[in-house]
Structure 1
Amino acid sequence: MPQSAQGPIPVTLLTGFLGSGKTTLINRALQEAQMADTLVIINEFGQTALDHLLVAHSQENLVQAMGNGCVCCTIRRDLVQTLRDITWRFSRAGQRQFSRVFIETTGLADPAPIIHTLLGEPQLAGKYRLDAVVTVVDLEHASETLRREELARRQVALADLLVLSKRDCVDADREQEVSQQLAGLNQAAQRLVLDVGQSMAPYLLALGDQQGQWAAWEASSHDCLHEHYHDHHHDHGAGGALSGQARHGQAVSAISVAVPEALNAQHLSDWLDELCRWAGPRLLRLKAVLAVQGRETAQVVHAVQHRVYPFGSLSQWPWPQRQGRLVLITQDLEPAQVWQRLRQLDVSVRAV
């Protein structure tokens, strides 16, 4: 189906540890009519790509395999080139034949540099937009995997949507255990259980609705900045991961906060720049919707590692209370230091 070339192409990044069920999810989704104009880029570690042979093929779905190694390791040469080429490689009569892109990464891929590339690569600017990060979690093995594998924790922490697979293989106690681990790593992510016969397209395509994304985040996140800071000092684990690890700076930690007042634009920019300089690669991701003085619309903020990206805007606030929300995902940082930075932002806001 020919598509208009106007506007950036939405990209969904699909991650998940080895054996979690990413290919199963893609197969099911591509069988639905709503996904017919989706191009899938599949990455596999190693020289011989096999995963793309397992993905459902049709005249509409276009599969581009990347077999030159892990996508996070060859990000500049491989992924950027692929995204540049597909708009003309999969075109007819000057019109591209897809309206969205799904990137399925190897189970050993770190999402952070991929997100960084999609948000900040100059060659992709204006041509693609990152809609969401979807992480598949294997309920049968997740509990042990999350304890053992740092990479699995990073994949969960960076997700906008967690898709829970293999529910039929676990009992209620195991599911609850995994649910608590996931909450410790990422309270803000939406969750979806991958049930047999369930339609996937409505959930995956709704992730492109920025209003809906942030509204869902609001529904799952209730703590404000001062409440989190208070809890931290009482060792209740303000967004802490996996028992005491996050409190001692040895694991991934995701913190969700409310920013109740409009921020001074220059101060916000300075604070973000300083945060990125201080945290560097330990800042896995920052995402926020904030009120900024002098701007009528809600501002969308993204930062990954060393870089803050240009602010975006929403046409309307995703929730009735026009107060900001911010998620900060870090690794190997002492929670007390992170909260000190957040308090500096909060004190500055109240002092303006």
Structure 2
Amino acid sequence: MPTTHLTPTTVITGFLGSGKTTLLNALLRHPALEDTAVLVNEFGDVGIDHLLVDELDDEAIVLLNAGCLCCTIRNDLVGALSDLRTRRARGEIPPFRRVVIETTGLADPAPILHTLLSHEALTDDFRVDGIVTTVDGLHGERQLDQNIESVKQAAVADRIVLTKTDLAGDTTTLRERLRAINTTASVLEAVSGDIEPAKLLDTGLFNLHDKPPEVTEWLRAVDQDGWSPDNGHHHRHDDGIASFYLEASQPLAIHRFVTWIERLLETEGERVLRLKGVLDVEGSDAPIVVHGVQHVFHPLTQLSRWPDESRRSQIVLIGRELDEHAVRSSFDAAVVG
């Protein structure tokens, strides 16, 4: 059956802090990604990743929030893609010729793939062009050891993108491990998301026969689970993982924030799976982006503009057995107070 009329859909996945949004931002600066609709999924009740996507009109970006795409929010995935298709047909949004889905770092990719490959509301209009998985060159081996989601994300990939290789040093062992997990995926590098889109896009129809046999088993398990938009899906992540949100309405003194975050990561780094946010800082008209993964605090960067008139600092932390009250109190005392 011809597939040229189907909208190619690329899934960007990868564990927390592995550089998915950085890669997406860099890709969206290329002409090849013009006319792209983006769906962003986050873990937790408050999402900010859509604020970090700096190169896209607001009407072309959809935030799938308050859950993980591998859980009940897959209903939202079907609804969001169906809505984009309808609005495109009506001329309510600019026509798009491809879709990129950025998953939360905790996403099990099997249910996402199952939805895109088999849901009757999607298969007549969308096709899976490829799965791009980012792997943290600095923390990747530990994440593969500790998180089955990280292993699954690598196993389903058509392209594996190693990030932070400028910080990681020798990645030979990590590369060998990734090739053992997925023998068919190309392993590429991207520093600060810099990579040619042609290396990641238009990879052809997603082919399960090229994947490790475990992938077929994961998809079969999803099918046997009996998920549907009506009954949800009772998948659970590690109960010790939770996210919470910090906010400040007044501009922050950047030196006080940096001192606080360095102390937090020094003392609680093993529990901080991911820290990300946008900051309204004294003396800056544009938002400052902050990223941290475990003990590593990445250099601050600046977005070109605020996405709306609501200028305020917003930070999301995702941690394992992290004391929310203690973190919130220290933030208020050291940064806000």
Report the TM-score when normalising by structure 2: 0.59
Give the CA deviation at 1:164. Answer: 0.6
Secondary structure of the residue that 2:135 maps to in structure 1?
strand
2:103 to 87, 90, 105: 105
Secondary structure of the residue that 1:285 maps to in structure 2?
helix
Partner amino acid for 1:28? A
Does structure 1 conserve the Cα–Cα contact (< 8 Å) formed by 2:19 and 2:193? no
Secondary structure of the residue that 2:173 maps to in structure 1?
helix
Q: CA RMSD in A?
A: 2.8
Alignment-derived partner of residue 82 in structure 1 = 80
Alignment-derived partner of residue 304 in structure 1 = 219
1:285 aligns with 2:285: no
Using the alignment, how far apart are the partners of 1:111 and 1:34 within structure 2?
25
- Structure 2 gaps of 5+ residues are 224-337
Alignment-derived partner of residue 179 in structure 1 = 175
Give the CA deviation at 1:305. Answer: 1.3
Using the alignment, how far apart are the partners of 1:61 and 1:137 within structure 2?
30
Alignment-derived partner of residue 254 in structure 1 = 212
Give the CA deviation at 1:285. Answer: 2.7
Give the CA deviation at 1:126. Answer: 1.0
Partner amino acid for 1:133? I
Does structure 2 conserve the Cα–Cα contact (< 8 Å) formed by 1:36 and 1:61? no
Alignment-derived partner of residue 53 in structure 1 = 51
Does structure 2 conserve the Cα–Cα contact (< 8 Å) formed by 1:88 and 1:96? no
Task: Classify 1:149/1:196 alpha carbon distance in 2 versus 1 (closer, same or farther; 3 Å).
Answer: closer
Task: Classify 1:78/1:194 alpha carbon distance in 2 versus 1 (closer, same or farther; 3 Å).
Answer: same
Secondary structure of the residue that 1:86 maps to in structure 2?
helix
Partner amino acid for 1:79? L
User: 1:189-200 maps to which residues of 2 (within 5 A)?
Assistant: 189-195=185-191, 198-200=194-196
What CA deviation, in whole Å up to 9, does each residue of 1:164-201 have, x standing for no partner?
100001222xx001011101111111121003584432
Does structure 2 conserve the Cα–Cα contact (< 8 Å) formed by 1:57 and 1:63? no
What CA deviation, in whole Å up to 9, does each residue of 1:48-83 have, x standing for no partner?
111000001344982111113111112442111111
Using the alignment, how far apart are the partners of 1:26 and 1:144 within structure 2?
24
Runs of 4+, deviation exceeding 4 Å: none
Does structure 1 conserve the Cα–Cα contact (< 8 Å) formed by 2:129 and 2:201? no
Alignment-derived partner of residue 129 in structure 1 = 127
Alignment-derived partner of residue 188 in structure 1 = 184
Using the alignment, how far apart are the partners of 1:129 and 1:149 within structure 2?
28
Does structure 1 conserve the Cα–Cα contact (< 8 Å) formed by 2:35 and 2:95? yes
Task: Tell which has more relative contact order, 1 or 2 (C-alpha 8 A, sep 6+).
Answer: 2
Q: Alignment identity in percent? A: 39
Task: Classify 1:203/1:70 alpha carbon distance in 2 versus 1 (closer, same or farther; 3 Å).
Answer: same
Task: Classify 1:307/1:145 alpha carbon distance in 2 versus 1 (closer, same or farther; 3 Å).
Answer: closer
User: Would you say how many aligned residue pairs link Structure 1 and Structure 2?
Assistant: 219
